[in-house]
């Protein structure tokens, strides 16, 4: 377990603010409150300001998709339980449908072009990773791609519905559909 730098330690807090408020509304005051650092201290770590903070958050999200979500699909505590583990990690990250997704948070509304491009890239990576898993399981390439896109839609649609109706259990229902899709 490598020790985290002061900079790395605050990135999850920053990520939470972006997920909750989106790019524009994630003000430095909110980021300051959530990280426990005053505004100018944030500029010490991120001279590029908000945009650099968002970029750092996306770096972490990219690693999370690779090292947590996709890793769950290749290793599991019990044999044949990869999908269960994947879904457990999703539930954990999205707090059971109580908090939104970076991908939608940052791109549903306007954000700097560079950030939007990175979100698009990360989303494609995620789809490709799920498609690769399905292909390794025996699906034909085209079928795997279609199912992977459907999987992401299930996750994102379930989150939107859960947040809009304030019924987190609707995200859980979405994950049940996801379980069937990937099984």
43 binds, among its own copies, DNA, none (CB under 5 to 8 A by kind): DNA
Q: Which is nearer to DNA, 49 or 92 (by Cβ)?
A: 49
21 binds, among DNA, its own copies, none (CB under 5 to 8 A by kind): its own copies
Separation in Å, CA 30 to CA 24, 34, 46, 63, 153: 12, 6, 16, 25, 30
Give the DSSP letter of residue 2: P
Decide if 140 contacts 111 (C-beta within 8 A). Answer: no
Of 50, 85, 147, 170, which lies in the binding site for DNA, with binding defined by CB under 7 A? 50
Angle at 75 between CA 88 and CA 61, to 5 degrees: 60
Residues within the interface to its own copies (CB under 8 A): 20-25, 100-101, 103-105, 107-110, 116, 119-120, 123-124, 146, 149-150, 152-158, 160-161, 163-166, 170, 173-174, 177
**Smallest distance, Å, CB 2 to its own copies?**
31
**Smallest distance, Å, CB 41 to DNA?**
4
What's the burial of 12, exposed, middle or buried (CB within 10 Å: 0-12/13-18/19+)? middle
**Smallest distance, Å, CB 160 to its own copies?**
4
CB neighbourhood size of 23 (10 A): 21
Closest residue by Cα to residue 179 from 94, 19, 4, 171: 171
Angle at 42 between CA 39 and CA 43, to 5 degrees: 95
Of 44, 81, 137, 153, which lies in the binding site for DNA, with binding defined by CB under 7 A? 44
Decide if residue 34 touches DNA (CB under 7 A). Answer: no
Decide if residue 39 touches DNA (CB under 7 A). Answer: yes
- Helix or strand (DSSP H, E) at 39: helix 39-45
Quick one: tokens of 108?
């549903």
Of 51, 62, 139, 149, which lies in the binding site for DNA, with binding defined by CB under 7 A? 51
Q: Which is nearer to its own copies, 21 or 43 (by Cβ)?
A: 21
Binding site for DNA (CB under 7 A): 5-7, 26-30, 37-41, 43-45, 47, 49-51
């Amino acid at each position: 377990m490598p020790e985290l730098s002061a900079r790395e330690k605050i990135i999850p807090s920053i990520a939470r603010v972006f997920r909750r408020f989106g790019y524009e509304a994630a003000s430095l005051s909110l980021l300051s409150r959530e990280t426990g650092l005053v505004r100018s201290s944030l500029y010490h770590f991120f001279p590029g300001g908000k945009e650099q903070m968002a970029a750092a958050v996306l770096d972490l999200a990219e690693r999370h998709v690779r090292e947590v979500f996709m890793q769950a699909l290749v290793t599991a505590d019990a044999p044949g339980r990869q999908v269960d583990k994947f879904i457990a990690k999703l539930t954990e990250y999205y707090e059971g449908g109580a908090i939104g997704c970076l991908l939608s948070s940052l791109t549903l509304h306007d954000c700097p072009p560079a950030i939007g491009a990175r979100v698009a890239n990360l989303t494609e990576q995620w789809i490709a990773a799920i498609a690769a898993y399905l292909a390794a399981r025996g699906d034909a390439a085209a079928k795997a791609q279609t199912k992977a896109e459907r999987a992401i839609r299930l996750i994102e649609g379930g989150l939107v519905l859960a947040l809009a109706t304030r019924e987190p259990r609707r995200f859980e229902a979405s994950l049940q559909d996801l379980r069937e899709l990937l099984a």
